């Protein structure tokens, strides 16, 4: 097959290399010329995806994979067009911002070949595939869906840092607008993916047709919204436990010993492209979902809560040297999308603390781009707040933080034994 992948980001590019690894001809389309140039040199434009560099080094010289910013050079003749362009959410209104996806759809439509399959993998509000993008393609291309081309929705279900493993691990959910679209989507994904055998699933791992685009759109939103709501519940429990001198981690351990209990882990922040965003996409369709809204708002208060607890322990933070450990939204991933570092630093600055940030994955120059002063382990500091659970922090000790008076472990990531003699605060450990 000839496959075009629109959006060569941290999900799109690994997908493209996966498709090429199965013997297909793939072209990536991206508006970032630097990304395009690096791909065409066989170099990875971003780190932290194990295996991708090896794929690029093999596939680009062999002519199996290339990149372009020109839709007219990628879309004509493509049997399948996969769209993996970000959908953002307005931070003030919580409304989805379709600007990038609309632009990509408008750009691909004039060049679409007859009988092509267009698959949207970006997580979308329910009804978007059928009611927004399909009519837009029809209007611009003059083609008719179900007759001249086909549209399906099949959301990515992977995490940065484990994309190739996740592609094998989880069923590929598909939903189309008609039976022929479903057939073509199934054939496509069965041709580009392989699946691990899993005995824990109700049916064989592989491509699962859920019957409609809307069903799959809701499935993707629901699986991530569940996590945000569950984390919100865990955070609520943790704050109650804190007040009542109860160890929430023992509570959770006890609860989760029963198979029907799956309480998640509390923490200083919920970040990334997915968990903070998808509940708001769900709310775009279901504004009366008060449970979803309450959990999202509550989780967003956690950085402020942690800083307030820090103030109650240490006193006035004005002029106090505070290091925030971890700019990334989660450990082991070089990505700051909606990271808790921003709200944590803001809350500290409001209290006139002398704030700096450390992250083993970022240089001082890169931290400066985000507006952060850089902290280096070994420099004097009075308070440290662990925001991201990087592996490098697992065995952290006071010796690496000279002068430390309070260590705030926002992820319960470090060993208490390492902190004997130094005040250590963990959310939910009264």
166 and 279 inside one domain: no
Domain span including residue 430 = 249-430
Long-range pairs for 18-21: beta carbons < 8 A, 24 or more residues apart: 18/55, 18/163, 18/164, 18/167, 18/192, 18/193, 19/82, 19/192, 20/55, 20/59, 20/64, 20/65, 21/55, 21/59
Total structural domains within the chain:
2
Confidence (pLDDT) at 265: 96
Residue that is last in its domain, among 189, 213, 237:
213
With both helix axes pointing from N to C terminus, report the angle between 99-108 and 134-141 in degrees, rounded to the nearest 10.
40
Alpha carbon distance 316, 310 (integer Å): 9
How far apart, in Å, are the Cα atoms of 97 and each of 40, 88, 94, 110, 375? 30, 5, 9, 23, 35
| DSSP assignment string, 289-311 | -HHHHHHHHHHHTHHHHHHHHHH
How much is the average pLDDT of 354-380?
98
- Asked if the structure places residue 242 within a domain, the reply is no
pLDDT at 218 over 80: yes
187 and 253 inside one domain: no
258 and 206 inside one domain: no
351 and 265 inside one domain: yes
- Asked if the structure places residue 221 within a domain, the reply is no
- Residue 59 phi/psi, 5-degree rounding, is -80, -35
Residue that is last in its domain, among 194, 213, 232:
213
The pLDDT > 90 percentage for the chain reads 98
Confidence (pLDDT) at 349: 98
pLDDT at 387 over 90: yes
How much is the average pLDDT of 40-67?
95
Lowest mean pLDDT among 87-91, 295-299, 412-416: 87-91
Tokens for 5? Answer: 């992948």
405 and 336 inside one domain: yes
Tokens for 256? Answer: 């989760």
pLDDT at 430 over 80: no
Confidence (pLDDT) at 210: 98
CATH number, domain at 295? 3.40.50.720
Confidence (pLDDT) at 48: 75
345 and 372 in contact (C-beta within 8 Å)? yes
With both helix axes pointing from N to C terminus, report the angle between 213-243 and 278-285 in degrees, rounded to the nearest 10.
120
Confidence (pLDDT) at 259: 92
Q: Band of the pLDDT at 414, cuts 50, 70, 90?
A: very high
141 and 286 inside one domain: no
Residue ranges in 5-128 assigned as alpha helix (H): 12-21, 33-40, 52-59, 99-108, 128
- Asked if the structure places residue 266 within a domain, the reply is yes
- Asked if the structure places residue 404 within a domain, the reply is yes
Q: Which residues of 48-68 are buried (b: 16+ CB within 10 A; e: fewer)?
A: ebeebeebbeebbeeebbbbb
Give pLDDT tens digits for 81-100: 999 999 999 988 999 999 99
Confidence (pLDDT) at 281: 97
23 and 172 inside one domain: yes
How far apart, in Å, are the Cα atoms of 318 and each of 51, 311, 356, 403? 46, 10, 14, 17
Alpha carbon distance 42, 53 (integer Å): 8
108 and 201 inside one domain: yes
205 and 257 inside one domain: no
Residue that is last in its domain, among 213, 233, 261:
213
Alpha carbon distance 335, 163 (integer Å): 15
Alpha carbon distance 167, 371 (integer Å): 35
Phi-psi region at 403: left, alpha or beta (left = phi > 0; alpha = psi -120 to 50): left
Tokens for 49? Answer: 């995806």
Alpha carbon distance 348, 385 (integer Å): 10
pLDDT at 148 over 80: yes
- Asked if the structure places residue 109 within a domain, the reply is yes
83 and 145 inside one domain: yes
Active site residues: 220, 274
301 and 345 inside one domain: yes
Tokens for 72? Answer: 């007219």
**Average per-residue pLDDT for the chain:** 97
- Asked if the structure places residue 228 within a domain, the reply is no
pLDDT at 328 over 90: yes
pLDDT at 52 over 90: yes
335 and 398 inside one domain: yes
How much is the average pLDDT of 381-392?
98
Q: Band of the pLDDT at 110, cuts 50, 70, 90?
A: very high
How much is the average pLDDT of 46-70?
95
Name residues whose C-beta falls within 8 Å of residue 47's C-beta, 6 or more positions apart in sequence.
Answer: 334
Task: Report CA dihedral (314, 311, 91, 83) to the nearest 10 degrees.
Answer: 30
How far apart, in Å, are the Cα atoms of 178 and each of 123, 148, 149, 213, 221? 20, 13, 11, 9, 22
- Asked if the structure places residue 74 within a domain, the reply is yes
- Asked if the structure places residue 233 within a domain, the reply is no
The pLDDT > 70 percentage for the chain reads 100
Reported as type and span, the H/E element at residue 354 is strand 354-358
How much is the average pLDDT of 311-320?
97
Which residues are 66's β-sheet partners? 27
């Amino acid at each position: 097959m000839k496959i075009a992948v629109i959006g060569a980001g941290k999900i799109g590019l690994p997908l493209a290399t996966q498709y090429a690894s199965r013997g297909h001809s793939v072209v990536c389309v991206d508006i970032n010329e630097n990304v395009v140039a690096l791909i065409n040199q066989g170099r990875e434009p971003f780190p932290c995806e194990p295996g991708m560099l090896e794929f690029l080094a093999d596939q680009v010289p062999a002519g199996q994979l290339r990149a372009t910013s020109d839709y007219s050079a990628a879309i004509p003749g493509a049997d399948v067009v996969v769209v993996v362009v970000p959908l953002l959410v307005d931070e003030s209104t919580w409304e989805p911002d379709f600007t990038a996806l609309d632009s990509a759809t408008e750009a691909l439509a004039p060049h679409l070949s007859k009988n092509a399959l267009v698959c949207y993998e970006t997580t979308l509000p329910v009804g978007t595939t059928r009611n927004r993008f399909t009519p837009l393609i029809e209007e611009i291309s003059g083609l008719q869906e179900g007759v001249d081309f086909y549209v399906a929705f099949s959301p990515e279900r992977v995490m940065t840092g484990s994309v190739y493993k996740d592609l094998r691990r989880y069923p590929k959910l598909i939903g189309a607008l008609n039976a022929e679209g479903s057939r073509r989507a199934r054939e496509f994904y069965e041709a580009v993916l392989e699946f691990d055998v899993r005995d824990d699933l109700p049916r064989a791992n592989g491509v699962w047709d859920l019957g409609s685009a809307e069903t799959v759109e809701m499935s993707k939103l629901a699986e991530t919204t569940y996590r945000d709501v569950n984390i919100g519940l865990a955070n609520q429990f943790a704050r109650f436990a804190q007040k009542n001198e109860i160890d929430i981690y023992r509570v959770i351990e006890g609860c989760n010993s029963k198979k029907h209990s799956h309480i998640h882990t509390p923490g200083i922040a919920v970040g990334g492209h997915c968990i903070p965003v998808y509940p708001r996409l769900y709310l775009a369709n279901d504004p009366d979902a008060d449970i979803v809204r309450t959990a999202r708002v509550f989780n967003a208060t956690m950085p402020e809560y942690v800083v307030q607890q820090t103030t109650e322990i240490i006193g006035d933070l004005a002029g106090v040297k505070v290091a925030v450990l971890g700019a990334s939204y989660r450990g082991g991933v070089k990505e700051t999308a909606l990271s808790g570092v921003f709200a944590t630093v803001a809350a500290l600055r409001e209290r006139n603390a002398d704030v700096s940030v450390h992250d083993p994955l970022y240089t001082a120059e890169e931290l400066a781009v985000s507006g952060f002063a850089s902290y280096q382990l070994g420099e004097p500091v009075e308070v440290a707040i662990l925001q991201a659970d990087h592996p490098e922090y697992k065995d952290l000790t006071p010796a690496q933080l000279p002068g430390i008076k309070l260590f705030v472990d926002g992820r319960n990531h470090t060993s208490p034994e390492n902190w004997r003699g130094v005040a250590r605060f963990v959310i939910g450990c009264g």
